[in-house]
Amino acid sequence: MTRDADATGRQVAVGDDPDVVVLTHPLARHKLTLLRDARTSTGEFRRLARELSMLAGYEAMRDLPVEDVEIDTPLERMTGHRLAGKKLCLVSILRAGNGILDGMLDLVPSARVGHVGLYRDPATLEPVEYYLKLPDDLPRRRCIVVDPMLATGHSAVAAITRLKQAGADSIVFVCLLAASEGIACLRAAHPDVRVVTCAIDRGLDDHGYIRPGLGDAGDRLFGTK
């Protein structure tokens, strides 16, 4: 996948898919390198994941509509702006998605939150659903689906399919790290879903792990093996 930087300093897919956005901000690149490091402790990994999710969140919410609103500052009356249109719903793909959910909630504390519980079958690498809890009014909300890794893409596809079945029609997928195979899988199944990530790595190994990657995001977030 060929990529280039646009005028804003973000990096977008060129020639393949303009709806795949890769962050190029120096802070994102710095924090992702620390996140990848095997020496990074569990507590530090959590902090970095939360900070990176905020940077990715700014990009994912770049095109939120706003409306004019009149307010009084301590000095005079002025016209400001506030969010308009559809409200937000953040959807975490369990369990690792919760590791970047809090950073998103720091940006939009009033957002509704949904959860899709999926685990990957170790033999088939296919997702198996074990939990689903979503707001009732998804058709009236923009959904931002969060999961630290986009590897094979199967879990992301399954989660987004369930959201669409529940009525969601405006969806963005945000991850910290992706493989081109996962992006291709997701975009083939859901070409209307924009993808925001901090990096695209070279590919997957025989076990479906991203290389060079950062290991198992869930284990590193929660201190498990």
Annotated ligand binding at 96? The verdict is no
Annotated active-site residue 219? The verdict is yes
Annotated ligand binding at 158? The verdict is no
Annotated ligand binding at 150? The verdict is yes
Q: What is the DSSP string of 36-100?
A: H-TT--HHHHHHHHHHHHHHHHHHHTTT--EEEEEEE-SS-EEEEEEE-SSEEEEEEEETTTHHH
Distance in angstroms (rounded) separating the CA atoms of residues 188 and 26: 30
Annotated ligand binding at 166? The verdict is no
Q: 112 by DSSP, 3-state: which?
A: strand
Count the residues in the chain: 225
Annotated ligand binding at 192? The verdict is no
Annotated ligand binding at 83? The verdict is no
Annotated ligand binding at 147? The verdict is yes
Annotated ligand binding at 38? The verdict is no
What is the distance of C-alpha 104 from the center of its chain? 9
Annotated ligand binding at 190? The verdict is no
Annotated ligand binding at 216? The verdict is yes
What Rg value do the Cα atoms of the chain yield, rounded?
18
Annotated active-site residue 17? The verdict is no
Annotated active-site residue 120? The verdict is yes
Annotated ligand binding at 30? The verdict is no
Annotated active-site residue 220? The verdict is no
Please tell me which residue in 16, 102, 169, 216 is annotated as part of the active site: 216
Distance in Å from the first CA to the final CA of the chain: 33
For 66-96, letters b (16+ CB in 10 Å) and e give eeeeeeeeeeeeeeeeeeeebebbbbbbbbb
β-pair type (194-197, 203-204): unpaired
Please tell me which residue in 8, 33, 42, 124 is annotated as part of the active site: 124
Annotated ligand binding at 155? The verdict is yes
Please tell me which residue in 120, 140, 162, 169 is annotated as part of the active site: 120
Question: Would you list which residues are annotated within the binding site for 5-phospho-alpha-D-ribose 1-diphosphate?
Answer: 95, 120, 147-155, 216
* Residues recognised as catalytic: 120, 124, 216, 219
Binding residues for uracil: 210, 215-217
Instruction: Tell me the binding residues.
Output: 95, 120, 147-155, 210, 215-217
